[in-house]
Amino acid sequence: MAPEFNPDKQNDSVRISPDLTRRIFNQVTFDSFMRIVDEIKMTTLRDIFNGARSGMLGDLIEVFVQIESSDARIRGLCASRRVASSKQSGIVTTRGESDIAQQAAEFVERNLEHLKFNNVKRRMLNGRFHGVALFEKIWAKNTDGSLYIHDIKRIDHRRIRQYNEIDIVGGRDQERYGELYLINDNWVPGEKFTMDRQFVSDINPAKIVIATMSAEDGQYDLDSIMRPVARWYIIKTFVVKAWAIFAEKYGFPIPTVKLPQAEFEQNKNSIMEMLHGVGLNKFAIFFDEFEWDLKEPVRASSVEVFEKLISKADIESAIAIVGQNLTSEVTGGSFAAAKTHSEILTSFIKDDIAWLDEIINDQIVHDLVRLNFPELPLDEYPIYNSSIPEATDLKGFADAVGSLQKVMRIPVSWLHEQTQIPQPADDEDYIGGDKAMSNLMDVIDSGMT
């Protein structure tokens, strides 16, 4: 009998409760980020980068998260890529002809639907943006004893470390070098704070999802999307702050008062009271006996420097996230540029989708089948696959079919499938008919208008 999938009938007493998804708050990392933003300290960011090379991945990821949430443009670009890469519908297909292979594919498909899988994939993409993301699979048991994944929860990124440091007591464990681990804070009020580590490789693979980019040179963050964005974010923040200071000093008119010095001495309090009374914090007083000339900078060219630096930072960030920056770099409108923009973005999305599919098949689909259909051979495991549907050029397709129909018979069902034009209902108006195949090009052309 095939395992049933019915979450409504689950036995809560046997659900495996989460034990990896506890959250911690790293005040040191938060304070470091505030120094980066408020004090514009590139050195602090450099220290965090260097810390990541020593294994402190969680601290760097926290900075990435804070940057994405603080800059509207960066946040919008990241959200656009996440949505575009996760919204593509996936299909679970069987690779075997047996009944058990078909049942396994159906079981997997129902479980993924239960998980609202597009949201899961969107969270998994943090592995590409940050270099590494970890999740816990929360299992539950059906009334018939079969196991399914009830939820996939994110493991707090601030707990993630990499074993690159040297243990002063025992020396470096060469076998563990480069492995990911989680830190667990065991602080109890009134007692000494302690922290232990839990290596990811020691966790049951059925309990965890590891979404990572390649650990180039043992460093997971080097291929992360947000790494170059972080540097340009700091530069942009510095320029915006400098621009605000410049505008405060040179960007506002300064009222002036000109009068004899003797009269000023006699009426000083009244004059100052008058100027403050109209809400002026900055003003100038000149005496008739003095010659005074104020040389102002050329404001247009000075402001242009700030604008160019901010634009440069925005362009570089956009290139890192979506591969191009059409809106900033193309000012006159260009079909060729728009086409290139679309092709580059599509290639990024396809790469994201292939990366996600590999993780889903290796770490989710395989676990579901292995635990519930142990007798099924590995080469008959179902496959999860998502892809970007290719747009059909109806005009070019009609021209081709118009020529091909002269030398071959073409099934109508295939034409509907290729053009994605549905069959009309029995009581629905339509154009063409059974005898219209000889004039198929006109039928499709009419349907396009």
pLDDT of res. 361: 94
Name the strand (E) or helix (H) holding 259: strand 256-259
pLDDT of res. 251: 61
pLDDT of res. 435: 43
pLDDT of res. 381: 93
> Which three-class secondary structure string do you get for 67-99?
HHHHCHHHHHHHHHHHHHHHCCCEEEECCCCCH
Closest CA to 358 of 213, 247, 177: 213
DSSP at 216: B
Give 217: exposed, middle or buried? Use CB within 10 Å, 0-12, 13-18, 19+.
exposed
pLDDT of res. 13: 40
Segments in the chain below pLDDT 50: 10-18, 24-28, 167-169, 188, 193, 327-328, 331, 435-438, 448-449
Give Cβ neighbours of residue 328 (< 8 Å, ≥ 6 apart): 311, 314, 315, 318
pTM attached to this predicted model: 0.69
Residues in the chain, how many? 449
CA end-to-end span of the chain: 53
Which residue is listed with tokens 């299909």? Answer: 91
pLDDT digits (tens, 9 = 90+) for 87-137: 888 889 998 888 999 999 999 999 998 888 888 899 999 999 998 999 999
pLDDT of res. 34: 57
